[in-house]
Amino acid sequence: MTAQPRGTAVRTEACPGGPVLVRGAEDVVDEQGVAHPVTRPVVALCACERSQRMPWCDSTHQAVARARRASS
């Protein structure tokens, strides 16, 4: 996760093999410095860098894991 959540009471929870859950953030600043407002009580930040909705998780990590499993 390269995007940074901002807020006064931010709590983060890394999900193994999945995203980082963020609670209490007001916005999330991405690598380019663009602030993305947080509009839900919990947001999931992409940690696999494959999301098509950066900085948010879109569960693409599931497909990555599936492809890895299929090729192993």
Give the nearer residue to another protein in terms of CB position, either 32 or 39: 39
DSSP letter for each residue of 9-71? S-EEEEPTTS-EEEES-SEEE-TTS-EEE--SSEEEE-SSS--SSTTB--SHHHHHHHHHHHH
For another protein, the binding residues (CB under 8 A) are 15-19, 21, 39-44, 52-53, 56-60, 62-63, 65-67, 69
Task: Tell me the closest approach of the beta carbon of residue 48 to another protein, in angstroms.
Answer: 11
Task: Tell me the closest approach of the beta carbon of residue 49 to another protein, in angstroms.
Answer: 15
CA angle 17, 46, 2 (to 5 degrees): 110
Task: Tell me the closest approach of the beta carbon of residue 28 to another protein, in angstroms.
Answer: 12
Give the nearer residue to another protein in terms of CB position, either 29 or 48: 48
